[in-house]
Chain A
Amino acid sequence: NAGVMQNPRHLVRRRGQEARLRCSPMKGHSHVYWYRQLPEEGLKFMVYLQKENIIDESGMPKERFSAEFPKEGPSILRIQQVVRGDSAAYFCASSHQRRLAGVEQFFGPGTRLTVL
């Protein structure tokens, strides 16, 4: 039973390019969460998605960032026109039901984005 999968594990982009980060949740999970971890900091919530729906995007920057979780295939976090400040580790988590008190989120290994 594979855990949460993320790819690529490491991604290098030049300023102005696009970054696409993929996340496949655990089998049977239909709720996906994206977090960003800046160096020496904790994780910050970005967005919460269910299949084909964005439930909460209160942590997403207003520009350049978007997320989707299509009916088929992985969830995608897309960053357009990357800047150096986007360099961070991006973690995906999944859960098997809507996030309520006590429901555990299972985390992937993360994608480390470096913007040159």
Chain B
Amino acid sequence: AQSVTQLDSHVSVSEGTPVLLRCNYSSSYSPSLFWYVQHPNKGLQLLLKYTSAATLVKGINGFEAEFKKSETSFHLTKPSAHMSDAAEYFCVVGAGNMLTFGGGTRLMVKP
């Protein structure tokens, strides 16, 4: 069995400041971990994925995430937020046939 907990349902940052979206997971297997972004009324776009290679994963649009097995965490970060980053972000664990989604974190970016 696997599960994902996104610790913050809403995060608000000012443009140009760092972003941290937190994610903890549990999995019976060696998991694959993903971050997806969903803009309003749009589908999901993959930001990055971890598949047991390097623990620091770089994704699109300047995002990156670090896999920490001891903490069962996979937090998403970005050094400097942009207005276009405002969206819903989902941490996802994959194993076997399915993806299990966290509840999502809504990122708001203030000018």
Q: Assuming A41-B103, A43-B90, A109-B42, is B98 touching A48 (CB within 8 A)?
A: yes
Cα–Cα, bound, A99→B96 (Å): 6
Interface string of A40-75 (1 = CB under 8 A from B): 011111001000000110110000000000000000
Number of residues from B at the complex interface, CB < 8 A: 27
Q: Are A105 and B43 interface neighbours, CB within 8 A?
A: no
- Measured CB to CB, the nearest residue on chain B to A9 is B41
Least CB distance from B62 to A in Å reads 20
Which residue numbers of B lie inside 8 Å of A, CB to CB?
A: 29-32, 34, 36, 41-46, 49, 51-52, 90, 94-104
Interface string of A85-114 (1 = CB under 8 A from B): 000000101000011011111111110100
Q: Assuming A56-B97, A91-B44, A109-B42, is B31 touching A42 (CB within 8 A)?
A: no
